[in-house]
């Protein structure tokens, strides 16, 4: 899930990872496979693969799983995946953007459409909601002990970071899509490894919902995230700290 509130996003994602670790592994293995297949199997020369491996390590995926995914991708019998996106609306007018990786487009679109219809949403045409999101680089970092926040923020600003937010446990760094590689390089120079990093779609405007409406809209989002062909789901709900308890 990726909504407007970064801290709510992290907390929700952590809970989802604990409850659905097998699903998380499946999605990350698929990303590793795609990255290795379309580029070099060497993460040193393939930034997308290096990032996918880093994110897999962030959720404690065993090294053997990572190596098998790379080997499978470079073999003659490796699965051919297609990356595609879908756009639609959850109940209460919530914009939803879905990123998928699939080996069967007909199966995927049928599944995504069925989820929208079953839970009160609707699948829309491409371009219907994409304009409501900005593509940004986002890095989630476990906050190092004793870090000087001001110095850290200045260092990353030099690397292209637009925003650096601190909580007790995490640091979230946001940058323009074009500066993603520069910020990654700056973090490498600082010997800091993000627990999770990637290009995300950040809503330009957000919607506040009542508790009841939030739970209704989240049914579509949760069911989409459960689908094996879906990699990421973005929406424009503003989730309060108090409402996080409803989603746990």
Q: What is the CATH number of the domain that holds 25?
A: 1.10.10.200
Q: What CATH number is given to the structural domain containing 103?
A: 3.30.70.980
Report how far apart the first and last C-alpha atoms of the chain are (Å, whole number): 13
Instruction: Indicate whether 69 and 162 sit together in one domain.
Output: no
- What number is the average pLDDT over the span 26-52? 92
Q: Has residue 197 been placed in a domain?
A: yes
Three-class secondary structure assignment of the chain? CECCCHHHHHHHHHHHHHHCHHHHHHHHHHHHHHHHHHCCCCCCCCHHHHHHHHHHHHCCCCHHHHHHHHHHHHCCCCCCCEEEEEEEEEHHHEEEEEEEEECCHHHHHHHHHHHHHHCCCEEECCCCCHHHEEEEEEEEEECCCCCCHHHHHHHHHHCCEEEEEECCCEEEEEEEHHHHHHHHHHHHHCCCCCCEEEEEEEECCCEECCHHHHHHHHHHHHHHHHCCCEEEEEECEECCHHHHHHHC
Number of domains in the chain: 3
C-alpha to C-alpha distance for 176 and 196, rounded to whole angstroms: 17
- What number is the average pLDDT over the span 223-236? 94
- What number is the average pLDDT over the span 17-40? 83
pLDDT tens-digit profile of 181-223?
Answer: 999 999 999 999 898 999 999 999 999 999 999 999 999 999 9
Query: Is the predicted pLDDT of residue 9 greater than 80, yes or no?
Result: no
pLDDT at 61: 92
C-alpha to C-alpha distance for 123 and 239, rounded to whole angstroms: 23
Query: Is the predicted pLDDT of residue 29 greater than 60, yes or no?
Result: yes
Q: Has residue 151 been placed in a domain?
A: yes
Instruction: Indicate whether 155 and 170 sit together in one domain.
Output: yes
Q: What percent of the chain has pLDDT over 70?
A: 90
Residue 64 makes CB contacts below 8 A (sequence gap 6+) with none
Q: Has residue 248 been placed in a domain?
A: no
What are residue 4's phi and psi, to 5 degrees?
A: -85, -40
pLDDT tens-digit profile of 116-164?
Answer: 999 999 999 999 999 999 999 999 999 988 899 999 999 999 999 999 9
pLDDT at 2: 45
pLDDT at 59: 87
Instruction: Indicate whether 198 and 136 sit together in one domain.
Output: yes
Query: Is the predicted pLDDT of residue 7 greater than 50, yes or no?
Result: no
pLDDT tens-digit profile of 103-127?
Answer: 999 999 999 999 999 999 999 999 9
pLDDT tens-digit profile of 46-93?
Answer: 999 999 999 999 889 999 999 999 988 887 666 789 999 999 999 999
Q: What is the mean pLDDT of the chain?
A: 89
Instruction: Indicate whether 219 and 121 sit together in one domain.
Output: yes
Burial of 210 (C-beta count, 10 Å sphere; 0-12/13-18/19+) = exposed
- What number is the average pLDDT over the span 99-104? 96
Q: What percent of the chain has pLDDT over 90?
A: 75
**Residues of the domain holding 108:** 82-131+205-239
Position 247 confidence tier, pLDDT thresholds 50, 70, 90: confident
């Amino acid at each position: 899930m990726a909504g407007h509130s970064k801290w709510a996003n992290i907390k929700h994602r952590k809970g989802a990872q604990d409850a659905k670790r097998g699903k998380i592994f499946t999605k990350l293995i698929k990303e590793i496979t795609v990255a290795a297949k379309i580029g070099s199997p060497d993460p040193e020369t393939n930034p997308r693969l290096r990032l996918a491996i880093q994110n897999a390590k962030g959720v404690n995926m065993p090294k053997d799983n990572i190596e098998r995914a790379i080997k499978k991708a470079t073999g003659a019998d490796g699965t051919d995946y297609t990356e595609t996106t879908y756009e639609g609306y959850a109940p209460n007018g919530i914009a939803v953007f879905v990123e998928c990786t699939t080996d069967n487009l007909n199966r995927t679109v049928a599944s995504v459409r069925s989820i929208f219809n079953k839970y009160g949403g609707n699948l829309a045409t491409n371009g219907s909601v994409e304009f409501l999101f900005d593509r940004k680089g986002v890095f989630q970092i476990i906050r190092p002990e004793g870090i000087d926040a001001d110095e850290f923020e200045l260092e990353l600003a030099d690397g292209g970071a637009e925003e650096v937010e601190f909580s007790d446990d995490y640091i979230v760094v946001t940058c323009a899509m074009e500066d993603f590689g520069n910020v990654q390089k700056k973090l490498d120079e600082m010997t800091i490894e993000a627990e999770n990093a990637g290009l995300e779609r950040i809503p330009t405007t957000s919607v506040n919902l009542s508790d009841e409406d939030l739970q209704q809209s989240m049914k579509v989002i949760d069911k989409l995230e459960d689908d094996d062909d879906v990699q990421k789901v973005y929406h424009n709900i503003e989730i309060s700290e108090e409402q996080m308890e409803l989603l746990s």
